[in-house]
């Protein structure tokens, strides 16, 4: 099973340069997804769907999602707002006021979590959301992949990291560690690709569709602007998660035009046969 993940679209109905750039980057990602030689079975969009949480921005998002291939599932991030989202996309997937739902796929259950606390940049996860997750994990009849916006791990980027003693992180960690069914956690928010072992599984963070966060690990004093770069114009990215029934393999795909240096032409057939040659056993 092949799962595409895009994240941090930051689409906006505003007619400014950033809005135009983010829409163009989304269009490039959609073009790449539509032209994969093997089409993803579904696409997960893990939050910060829009820049400013307005009704008009969600209406733009609704139109833009139509150009993505196949089945698309949405999650919420800190730039999102539930009320205007529900006006455009409806109440499907909401449980107890949070956008948390299960996707039953062949051999895998995907649980989309809601880590949004409106007005807060960082993540949130309370007892109500944790009870839903615990019930889903207890009832799961197959392995589980968890999707959310905020990664519950340190990132080494001071203004984009998560403290491990944050109550919401500890609560989520307790839920996941109590189950032996979780095969991975995927997220966005950081606008960079990274992964880390956590809670007995792997957290895989996808880079953004919008512009990326600069990688600067130096300590940061919020009261002393030091001129460091915060956002960079690196290419938009996609994460491809392949579930083979036993484990998840994640590939990072940069959207854009790149020179092709080799092709599988007839002159390459002998070399390709050597690649696929199975060594003879000594037995």
Q: Is residue 118 a part of any domain in this protein?
A: yes
Measured CA to CA, the distance from residue 80 to residue 156 in angstroms comes to 25
Cα-Cα-Cα-Cα torsion 156, 160, 165, 170, nearest 10 degrees, comes to -110
Of the candidates 8, 25, 2, 5, the one whose C-alpha atom is nearest the C-alpha of residue 204 is 5
Closest of 241, 167, 253 to residue 204, by C-alpha = 241
The whole-number pLDDT of residue 282 equals 60
Q: What is d(CA 95, CA 210) in angstroms, rounded to the nearest whole number?
A: 29
Model confidence at 283: pLDDT above 60: no
Residue 282 belongs to some domain of the structure: no
| Residues 156-180 as b or e (16 or more Cβ within 10 Å = b) | ebeebebeeebebbebbbebbeebe
Give the pair of three-digit tokens for residue 31. 């073009």
Residue 266 within a domain: yes
Task: Decide if 230 is inside a domain.
Answer: yes
Is 281 domain-assigned? no
Range of the domain at 244: 2-276
State the total domains in the chain: 1
State the pairing for strand pair 101-105/108-112.
antiparallel
Q: Are 206 and 187 in contact (CB under 8 A)?
A: yes
pLDDT given for residue 257 in this prediction: 82
CATH of the domain at 43: 3.60.21.10
Write the pLDDT tens digit of every residue in 200-242: 999 999 999 999 999 999 999 999 999 999 999 999 999 999 9
Indicate the pairing of strand 71-75 with strand 42-46: parallel
> Residue 275's pLDDT band (boundaries 50, 70, 90)?
confident
Q: Any idea how long the chain is? A: 283
Residue 249 covered by a domain: yes
| pLDDT the model gives residue 256 | 86
Within a domain: residue 283?
no
Are 230 and 43 in contact by the 8 Å Cβ rule? The answer is no
**Which range among 112-126, 232-246, 269-283 shows the weakest confidence by mean pLDDT?**
269-283
Question: Is residue 56 one of the residues assigned to a domain?
Answer: yes
b vs e for 266-283, b when ≥16 Cβ sit within 10 Å of the residue's Cβ? eeeeeeeeeeeeeeeeee
185/162 Cα distance (integer angstroms): 15
How far from chain centre, in Å, is Cα 8?
8
Report pTM.
0.94
The tens digit of pLDDT for each residue in 123-165 reads 999 999 999 999 999 999 999 999 999 999 999 999 898 888 8
């Amino acid at each position: 099973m092949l799962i595409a993940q895009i994240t941090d679209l930051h689409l906006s109905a505003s007619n400014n340069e950033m809005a135009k750039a983010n829409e163009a980057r989304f269009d490039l990602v959609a073009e790449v997804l539509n032209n994969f030689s093997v089409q993803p079975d579904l696409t997960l969009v893990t939050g910060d769907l829009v820049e400013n949480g307005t009704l008009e921005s969600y209406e733009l998002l609704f139109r833009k999602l139509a150009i993505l291939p196949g089945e698309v599932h949405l999650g919420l991030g800190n730039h999102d707002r539930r009320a205007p989202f529900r006006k455009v996309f409806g109440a499907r997937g909401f449980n107890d006021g949070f956008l948390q739902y299960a996707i039953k796929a062949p051999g895998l259950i995907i649980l989309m979590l809601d880590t949004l606390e409106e007005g807060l940049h960082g993540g949130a996860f309370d007892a109500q959301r944790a009870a839903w997750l615990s019930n889903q994990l207890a009832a799961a009849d197959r392995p589980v992949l968890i999707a959310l916006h905020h990664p519950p791990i340190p990132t080494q980027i001071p203004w984009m990291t998560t403290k491990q003693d944050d109550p919401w992180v500890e609560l989520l960690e307790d839920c996941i560690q109590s189950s032996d069914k979780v095969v991975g956690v995927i997220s966005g928010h950081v606008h960079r690709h990274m992964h880390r072992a956590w809670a007995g599984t792997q957290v895989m963070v996808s880079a953004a569709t919008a512009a990326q966060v600069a990688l600067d690990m130096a300590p940061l004093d919020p009261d002393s602007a030091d001129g460091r770069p915060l956002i960079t114009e690196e290419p938009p990215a996609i994460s491809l998660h392949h579930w083979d029934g036993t484990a998840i393999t994640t590939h990072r795909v940069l959207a854009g035009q790149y020179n092709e240096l080799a092709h599988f032409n007839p002159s390459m057939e002998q070399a390709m046969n050597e690649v696929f040659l199975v060594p003879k056993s000594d037995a």
